[in-house]
């Protein structure tokens, strides 16, 4: 006779029992080797600091995994997509003219600024120009096709003047930027910084 039963319903035995809404206590050393584990509610794991609460090992894609913080030491290949997190990498191209001692001869110079060899399109977010002389030295920035990334040449200042972006703000892979520097004959140092993201 069973005298210490809890709950209601039929008795179950060791092999293939069917349980209806049981209240299970904390399990230790439990392993689900095969099959599917499903839950309609939230699974909560309380572990010590430094212990991963959930480990997934899969040779196929695993969808809908979410975490407030993800740390990985994985060898990732191909495109990596993250929703709700920052995935863009900032880059900057910089070029300078002049030695800071002798004034640049008043003329138009067209040096190459940078080449996009990163294999993806760069979105230009900022173009700034420095000159040791707050005069009239101007800089325009163009792609290889000659399309300007600015609405007009920016006049360089000692505080890195910022240019106004044109309708063209991207630099394709294998494209490059070139400067059109119109020196005022007084500036001894001209420096241009183009910042973008991939």
Query: Domain ranges in the chain?
Result: 112-197
The token pair at 24 is 């299970």
Question: Can you give the pTM of this predicted structure?
Answer: 0.58
Query: In a 10 Å sphere around its CB, with 0-12 CB exposed, 13-18 middle and 19+ buried, how is residue 114 labelled?
Result: buried
Per-residue pLDDT, 181 = 96
The token pair at 183 is 């020196």
Mean pLDDT (whole number) for 188-198: 93
* pLDDT, tens only, 28-65: 666 666 667 777 777 777 777 767 766 777 777 767 66
Give the distance from CA 23 to its chain's centroid.
45
Output the CA torsion 147→113→152→163 (10° steps): 130
* pLDDT, tens only, 136-155: 999 999 999 999 999 999 99
Per-residue pLDDT, 71 = 60
């Amino acid at each position: 006779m069973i005298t210490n039963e809890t709950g209601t319903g039929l008795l179950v035995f060791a092999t293939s029992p069917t349980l209806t809404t049981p209240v299970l206590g904390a399990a230790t050393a439990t392993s689900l080797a095969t099959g599917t584990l499903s839950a309609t509610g939230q699974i909560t794991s309380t572990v010590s600091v430094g212990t991963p609460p959930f480990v997934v090992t899969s040779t196929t894609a695993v969808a809908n995994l979410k975490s407030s913080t993800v740390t990985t030491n994985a060898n990732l290949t191909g495109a990596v997509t993250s929703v709700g997190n920052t995935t863009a990498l900032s880059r900057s191209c910089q070029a300078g003219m002049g030695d800071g001692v002798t004034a640049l001869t008043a003329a138009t110079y067209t040096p190459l600024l940078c080449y996009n060899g990163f294999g993806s399109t760069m979105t230009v977010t900022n173009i700034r120009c420095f000159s040791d002389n707050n005069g009239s030295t101007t800089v325009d920035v163009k792609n290889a096709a000659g399309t300007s990334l600015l609405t007009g040449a920016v006049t360089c200042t000692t505080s890195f003047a910022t240019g106004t972006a044109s309708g063209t703000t991207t630099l394709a892979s294998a494209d490059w930027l070139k400067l059109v520097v119109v020196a005022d004959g007084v500036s001894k140092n001209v420096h241009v910084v183009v910042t973008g993201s991939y």
